[in-house]
């Protein structure tokens, strides 16, 4: 898939086709970044533009993993996105279940954040473990 599937709607204005044609095809789009501090003093810079994973939950068919894969591939390889944010509440977990397999080939090259709605430790821990399982990963870069 050379372009974003029709079912994925991006809220951000992307460069026009004319602008993209003028750009060297091998040149990656560079988005502005901002510093992000961590508790272990790891210095991370995150792009200001992230992937809207809630859109994966809104695909019309439960068999739309291929569309999710194409959208993530487009985001990483063509748009240069490196920040992915997801929550179990996005489509009752559907976004996580689609994002996980789609993100697998890029997992070491992206920053993955997940959210929880729980405000107590046991609920948040259970939600965290479910997110890891649904995302098919052994770690999150940010849990909020």
Rounded to two decimals, the pTM is 0.73
Can you tell me the distance from the alpha carbon of 17 to that of 31, in angstroms, rounded to the nearest whole number? Answer: 18
Rounded Cα gap, residues 85 and 110, in angstroms: 11
Per-residue pLDDT of 48-85, as tens digits, reads: 788 989 999 988 877 789 999 999 999 999 888 889 99
pLDDT digits (tens, 9 = 90+) for 5-42: 444 334 434 344 454 445 445 566 677 777 877 667 77
Catalytic sites, residue numbers: 90
CA distances to 9, 28, 93, 124 from 59, in Å? 10, 27, 13, 27
- 93 vs 7: which has the higher pLDDT: 93
Taking phi over 0 as left and psi of -120 to 50 as alpha, with beta for the rest, 98 belongs to alpha
Mean pLDDT is lowest, of 57-71, 89-103, 119-133, for 57-71
């Amino acid at each position: 898939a050379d372009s974003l599937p029709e079912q994925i709607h991006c809220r951000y204005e992307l460069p026009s086709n004319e602008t993209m044609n003028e750009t060297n095809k091998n040149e990656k789009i560079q988005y502005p970044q901002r510093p992000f501090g961590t508790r272990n003093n790891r210095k991370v810079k995150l792009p200001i533009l992230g992937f809207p994973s809630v859109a994966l939950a809104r695909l019309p068919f439960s068999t739309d993993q291929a569309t999710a894969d194409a959208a993530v591939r487009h985001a990483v390889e063509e748009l240069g996105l490196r920040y992915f944010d997801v929550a179990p509440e996005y489509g009752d977990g559907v976004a996580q279940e689609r994002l996980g397999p789609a993100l697998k080939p890029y997992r070491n090259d992206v920053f993955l954040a997940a959210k929880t709605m729980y405000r107590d430790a046991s609920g948040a821990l259970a939600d965290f473990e479910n997110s890891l399982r649904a995302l098919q990963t052994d770690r999150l870069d940010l849990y909020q």
